[in-house]
Amino acid sequence: MTALDLNDRGLTSVPVLPPGLTRLDLYKNALTEVPASLWSQTGLRVLNLAANRISTLPPGISALESVHTLDLAHNLFDALPDELGDLAGLTEYLYISDNRLTEFPAAWCRLGRLRYLGCTDNRLTALPADLSGFASLRELRLYRNELTALPESIGSLGALRELHLRGNRLTALPSSIGSLSELRQLDLRENELVSLPASIAQLSKLDKLDLRWNKHFREPAWLRDFEEAGCMVLR
């Protein structure tokens, strides 16, 4: 056995697991904790602990060197360990949405091969100053947090194709956002934006820009030309 599906079984604890698993699904149970013995499953490639009641992780998760997809969403975490940044095999997905996170550790920026990061519906007020370590990130979802600004280093995410920032408290964007040459979608709904940096007009691959529900937004003169060049702008 290499894959074990224990989704929606009403489990309150993780049972004894067979050795050699590559996939473990524990979605939608009633788990409140994770045993440290889980980290002995070093062959795991996919680990799904979403939709439980877990609030802490024991030390040692970095032993899961083969994990490429990790789902910790819809739990009760108010913090997650810096050690997540040591998961060098984490190349596909990291889901940590719908928790109670207030901080985004700089150590996570060591995930240089990660392609998708979902950190929505938390309580983040800021991002690390240096995001450049996320060199392979293609999709970043940060909607419904409490961000008031983005670091200039956001422009270093050269592989990024989608940036979702709906429902934060952003009043402005850094000019470096115009360096995201692969960006296709930029969702800025429900913020407090007043203006946009002119550098956005340099995003030649951008095909959707969503600006709805920014009450005090003043449309720049270049935006109409940008729209006519092929970008769908939602106001």
How does DSSP assign 127-145, residue by residue?
--S--TT-TT--EEE--SS
Q: How far apart are CA 89 and CA 70, in angstroms?
A: 10
Q: How far apart are CA 77 and CA 99, in angstroms?
A: 5
How high is the pLDDT of residue 62? Answer: 97
* H helix or E strand, kind and range, residue 225: helix 222-228
Q: Are 15 and 38 in contact (CB under 8 A)?
A: no
Enumerate the β-bridge partners of residue 89.
Answer: none
Per-residue pLDDT tens digits for 191-216: 999 999 999 999 999 999 999 999 99
State which residues of the chain have pLDDT below 50: none
Cα 111 to the center of its chain, rounded Å: 12
Q: Are 134 and 111 in contact (CB under 8 A)?
A: yes
- pTM, two decimals, is 0.96
For the chain, report the end-to-end CA distance as a whole number of angstroms. 52
Q: Are 192 and 167 in contact (CB under 8 A)?
A: no
How high is the pLDDT of residue 73? Answer: 98
For 24, the token pair is: 């473990």
Give the torsion sign (CA, 215, 166, 194, 162): negative
How high is the pLDDT of residue 72? Answer: 98
Q: How far apart are CA 100 and CA 61, in angstroms?
A: 20
Greatest CA span in the chain, whole angstroms? 63
How high is the pLDDT of residue 145? Answer: 98
Give the torsion sign (CA, 48, 122, 186, 200): negative
How high is the pLDDT of residue 1? Answer: 72
